[in-house]
Chain A
Amino acid sequence: MIGPERAKEILGQTLQASKAEQTEVMLFAQDMELTRFANNIIHQNVAETDTTLTVRAVMGKRRGIATTNNLSADGITRAVDSARESALRQPEDPDFGGLSGPHSSNIVQAFDESTAACSPEQRAKGVGIICRKAKEKGIINGSGYFRTGTQEMSIANSLGTMVYHAGSIADISVTAMTEDSAGRAQLSAWKLNELNPEAIGDEAIDKAARGRNPRKIEPGEYTIVAESYVADDLVGMLAWIGMSAQSVQEGRSWMNDRMGQQVMSPLVSIWDDGLDPNGYPTPFDFEGVPKQRVDIVRDGVIGSPVYDTYSARKEGKSSTGHASPSGWGLDTSFPINLFMAAGEHSVDEMIKSTERGLYIATFWYTRPMQPRDAVITGMTRDGVFMIENGEITYPVKNLRFTQSYIKALADVEMVGSDTRLIIGEPFGTSRVPALKIKAFNFTGSTV
């Protein structure tokens, strides 16, 4: 780790070196280690130490960006000069109103010393337990990863912003496979002691063991009881295809023409909150603007998208603290601390209330077919079971679906009382519950 003092020193040095009219500097440092296993053994085991400096130079209504991981005086000078040169050589953007600030940061706790100090031996011990139990239960391929590490982000600009935040990450994902079945489990936290490798392994192993000898069923419309991994896919996809102000301004978002309307089930609420310690808190965005909670969907009514400075100024608004990192191919704003409200039911209650339907563990390779209606195709994966008369009766082979996610969330009948935190890579998290959805459209099956 570089720590707040060294981070501020580098940022200050960079601001001083810049000859641009306005300058913004972001320092992103990570020490990340990941132990990966497959076939019930550790087969890949890696560590990375990197620090990247991103400079945004502003010349009037023009801006250029340069990134480098060369933090020497020469490296910094090259980056600030390159960013300024890029800005100077381009036409003006009439919608660009310069940087914003100064901003100060909320303080949120997301760093745990023991998580940061986790050793390769500790991770190997956890993986060893999972692999041993997998072998004992006849799992031919226990696979997944155990990741621990730290991320630091610090942002300064020439308007006086200077903010720093450090977070730790612990993340375990397990996929257990037999000859004809699979099960998956994942849990993330910023405190390692909140993760129990054995319990996560058991969840995946149990699903795989119960999934043996799956039957092929005809595609069609089914009620589904979906684990929280499915809800993670639902909110993640809706974020990807249209929770940004830019996507709404350009008319390509699923939120267009739906804001203020009761479009989803009253049981569905989705919001972004970078300050909630139950997520993976990040107190400011990639411009250093403090995060605000934004209600995307409240009790089924479509709320508003998230804003960065650029998209907010187009509407005469203020940023909500959701600027994206530059150059990632994302819209200018993006929600990375998503939550879906918990309900009142257990998964068992959802199953018991279902006369005929499918229990779905995970979605896979979901892609938009028609973004305005959020029509998505994808596959089920790692656990599909038939539900008949309130009981799981037999495992089912994977199915392809083609389904509007808006319609699916309109058809939510029950919401799980427990939520699960899932941390994505390199960023983006969700804390989401299990869902019962009245009708879901499956359009193909796997041989």
Chain B
Amino acid sequence: MDTLSARALETARLRGAQYADIRVVHSQDEDISVKDGVVEHMITNESLGFGVRVLMDGAWGFASSRDMTSAEVDRIVDLAVKIAKASALVRGDSVQLGPPVTSKGTYTTPIQIDPFTISIEEKLNLLLQADANMARVEGVSVRNGHLTFIKEHKTFANSEGADTEQTIYEAGGGIIATAVGGNEVQRRSYPSIRAQGTAGWEYILEMDLPGNAERIASEAVQLLTAEQCPSTTTTIIIGGEQLALQIHESCGHPIELDRVFGMEAALAGTSFLTTEKLHNFHYGSEFVNITAESIRSTGLGTFGWDDEGVPASSTPIVRDGLFVGYLMSRETAPLLGLNSNGCMRASGWNRIPIIRMTNVSIEPGTWDYNDLIADTDDGIYMESNRSWSIDDKRYNFQFGTEIGYEIKNGKLGKMLRNCTYTGITPEFWNSCDAVCNDKYWFMWGTPNCGKGQPGQVAHTGHGAAPARFRNVRVGVMK
């Protein structure tokens, strides 16, 4: 443990804190964005600071600072204590944290190529190659490409003896072609609007951005004159990237136990998955198996320990359609007689950890994608998220995708634009009758999940494969 962390914990003890922890976080990131053949921005960011959390008189206080000096550590601990005492003026039952957490060790994201060793020229060249390939297609109005790399070094220590050190790497990128014509603005992205994983430079190379550029540019232009998605109720097959966001919004958020207990009611909302439904509610059909874990390769929710020092783990959420698990913290799990499954994450040194998704994924099914299309007489295939909206209980949703294709007599047919579908979460998941196998399963990333006040942006992972849903209302545009 470094001396500043030890000083913070000792000062908190001397001030009478029942519990204290400190995180010291040093983050570095690089963000490169290319637009229409020129660099839109090329940014390097560095941020270092610490956050101290104390429990006093059964209530929480948190304070944070960028100033890494002994005097500032003392001031911040005192401020956290003062804030906790103020919290205690309007508190309920004393916070109980369950069994002590005494994790020790180090963790580093397994990567093949450190992205910070790759030259700016090589990164730019990749984006410019992809841009040039998009530019070959007549009719493309705007071409975008971006790469993002993050290295976060984080230490955590608490008054119970935990002392961990982690280095998390993330790599992400993608390209977007936008076509404008008449009153239509159509977009195609690859691999998605925000593909990102805990990985190194190899993750970017595997995308083959230049090799997919011309295809998506062509699709964006074709979408301008494609047929409008019909307004009807039909069978839909959803591509893996769109299904990943469907899982994020309609399963990942409602299983956050802080939402269930009303702790996020003011902003994010609550959840329809109330506690009496645990082990008693058919969230989906027998083909739906969903798992939350923080151990799978390249997932944006993959780490060694969460920000309370709880080890990475795997938790069944839905098994054969039955709802069986939540995302939990040390404070919320004991309220169900359980222990935390390690889902407390903070977006940086200046934020408290709150319950966040790790990697919430649908397990692969048995279908080959081609067989699934062939097995569908009439419907629509939709892929690549374009818009998303869901109510504050995570019940009523409406999503739009970048592109769709009519399915007729077991074959993909004409392209469709402005595809949307809407539904009620459990009705929708209970209408699932097929999930594609592991050949089509991929760990997608959602690096833009907002929650909390003050706001925090979390990076979450979602493994998904294409899946089929029956009797879905589509084409809701007016």
Contacts and interface: CB of A to CB of B under 8 A. Distances in A.
Interface of A: 32-52, 62, 64-70, 75, 78-79, 82-83, 85-87, 89-96, 119-121, 123-125, 127-128, 131, 140-141, 143-145, 147, 173-175, 177, 182, 250-252, 326-327, 364-373, 375, 377-379, 381, 398, 400, 402, 404, 425-426, 441, 443-447
Contact of A131 (B61, B90, B178, B392): B90
- In this complex, the member of A35, A64, A369 whose beta carbon has the largest number of chain B beta carbons within 10 angstroms is A369
Nearest to A250: B142
Interface string B116-128: 0001110010001
Given A120-B86, A144-B266, A78 B60 contact: no
A250 B31 CA distance: 23
B463 to A, nearest CB: 24
Given A42-B59, A377-B387, A143 B265 contact: yes
B455 A400 contact: no
Given A38-B266, A398-B391, A446-B391, 20 more contacts: A35-B87, A41-B91, A44-B453, A49-B63, A65-B44, A75-B46, A89-B42, A91-B124, A124-B86, A124-B87, A131-B90, A147-B453, A326-B43, A327-B43, A369-B477, A372-B184, A377-B398, A379-B392, A381-B392, A445-B396
A425 B354 CA distance: 18
A256 to B, nearest CB: 9
Given A47-B64, A89-B120, A93-B38, A121 B265 contact: no
20 contacts: A42-B59, A42-B90, A45-B60, A46-B83, A48-B350, A50-B350, A65-B43, A69-B48, A70-B66, A85-B120, A93-B39, A120-B87, A123-B86, A124-B90, A125-B89, A143-B263, A326-B43, A367-B389, A377-B476, A446-B395
Interface in B370-402: 387-393, 395-396, 398, 400
B31 A327 contact: yes
B44 A66 contact: yes
A22 B227 CA distance: 50
Interface of B: 31, 37-39, 41-49, 59-67, 76, 79-80, 82-87, 89-92, 119-121, 124, 128, 141-142, 178, 180, 183-185, 261-266, 269-270, 350-352, 354, 387-393, 395-396, 398, 400, 418, 420, 422, 424, 453-455, 476-478
Nearest to A72: B68
Nearest to A89: B120
A93 B82 CA distance: 52
Nearest to A204: B266
8 closest cross-chain pairs (CB), A and B:
A120-B86, A143-B266, A93-B38, A124-B86, A251-B180, A86-B42, A41-B92, A47-B63
Contacts of B185: 251-252, 370-372
A425 B450 CA distance: 12
B421 to A, nearest CB: 11
Given A145-B266, A377-B398, A402-B476, A364 B392 contact: yes
- In this complex, the member of B37, B61, B86 whose beta carbon has the largest number of chain A beta carbons within 10 angstroms is B86
B453 A34 contact: yes
A128 B86 CA distance: 10
Contact of A443 (B91, B178, B424, B476): B476
A333 B426 CA distance: 41
B15 to A, nearest CB: 15
A62 B124 CA distance: 14
B291 to A, nearest CB: 26
Nearest to A382: B392
B83 A444 contact: no
A92 to B, nearest CB: 7
Nearest to A121: B86
Contacts of B84: 45
Contacts of B42: 64-65, 86-87, 89-90
B121 A49 contact: no
Contact of B454 (A37, A48, A375): A48
B424 to A, nearest CB: 6
A44 B38 contact: no
Contacts of A402: 398, 476-478
A44 B61 CA distance: 7
B89 A377 contact: no
Contact of B38 (A32, A40, A92): A92
A354 B304 CA distance: 59
Given A89-B124, A90-B124, A47 B391 contact: no
A89 B121 contact: yes
B66 A50 contact: yes
B337 to A, nearest CB: 19
B79 A35 contact: no
Nearest to A40: B92
A147 B185 CA distance: 39
Contacts of B391: 364-365, 379, 381, 398, 400, 446
Contacts of A67: 43-47
Contact of B453 (A95, A145, A444): A145
A47 B79 contact: yes
B424 A46 contact: no
Contacts of A32: 454
A181 B409 CA distance: 47
A41 B350 contact: no
A71 B183 CA distance: 49
Nearest to B354: A44
Contacts of B424: 446-447
Contacts of B49: 50, 69
A44 B477 CA distance: 40
B64 A425 contact: no
B336 to A, nearest CB: 16
A94 B37 CA distance: 11
A36 B393 CA distance: 20
B333 to A, nearest CB: 16
B420 A425 contact: no
A47 B454 CA distance: 10
A252 B420 CA distance: 20
Contacts of B270: 177
Contacts of A128: 89-90
Contacts of B80: 47
Given A90-B124, A251-B141, A400 B398 contact: yes
A38 B46 contact: no
Contacts of A96: 38
A263 to B, nearest CB: 14
- In this complex, the member of B37, B42, B455 whose beta carbon has the largest number of chain A beta carbons within 10 angstroms is B42
B263 A38 contact: yes
B41 A425 contact: no
A35 B86 contact: yes
Contacts of A95: 38
B141 A47 contact: no
A69 B66 contact: yes
Contacts of B178: 250, 252
Nearest to B272: A447
Given A252-B178, A370-B477, A173 B266 contact: yes
A70 B262 contact: no
Given A93-B39, A173-B266, A379-B389, A372 B183 contact: yes
B42 to A, nearest CB: 4
B10 to A, nearest CB: 21
A182 B390 CA distance: 17
A175 B183 contact: no
B372 to A, nearest CB: 27
A87 B218 CA distance: 32
Contact of B262 (A177, A373, A378, A441): A177
- In this complex, the member of A33, A367, A381 whose beta carbon has the largest number of chain B beta carbons within 10 angstroms is A367
A41 B84 CA distance: 13
Given A173-B266, A250-B141, A46 B43 contact: no
Contact of A49 (B39, B64, B387, B400): B64
A175 B270 CA distance: 12
A279 to B, nearest CB: 21
Nearest to A174: B266
Contacts of B45: 66-68, 327
